[in-house]
Amino acid sequence: MRSGVLWCTMLLDPALDGPRVAFAIGRHSGIAVERNRARRRCREVLRTAEFPPGLYLIGLTRPAHEVSFSNIRTSVTGLRSRISL
């Protein structure tokens, strides 16, 4: 599923004790500094978001230098609202 600047592939698994998140931010997204900054921003927003237990793979739909913290926050909120339990 997609929401704003993020895409997400997931597998809900109630047997897990919480969400497990991995990031797919490849070289097409920008130089390493930009990719790492985007990954840190995503991690910080996801830390406070309440996602159900499962496995999540999250990536960017735009180059990393175009992604702001507020874009990520809005996108994570959109992803969370689209997850059905």
Q: Which two tokens stand for residue 82?
A: 């689209």
Q: Where are the beta strands (DSSP E) in 1-85?
A: 2-3, 6-12, 19-24, 54-60
Q: Tell me the torsion sign for CA atoms 1, 63, 73, 55.
A: positive
Q: What is the pTM of this model?
A: 0.88
What digits encode the pLDDT tens for the residues 26-57? 999 999 999 999 999 999 999 999 999 999 99
pLDDT at 83: 86
Which CATH number does the domain 2-82 belong to among 3.40.50.360, 3.30.230.10, 3.30.300.30, 1.10.10.10?
Answer: 3.30.230.10
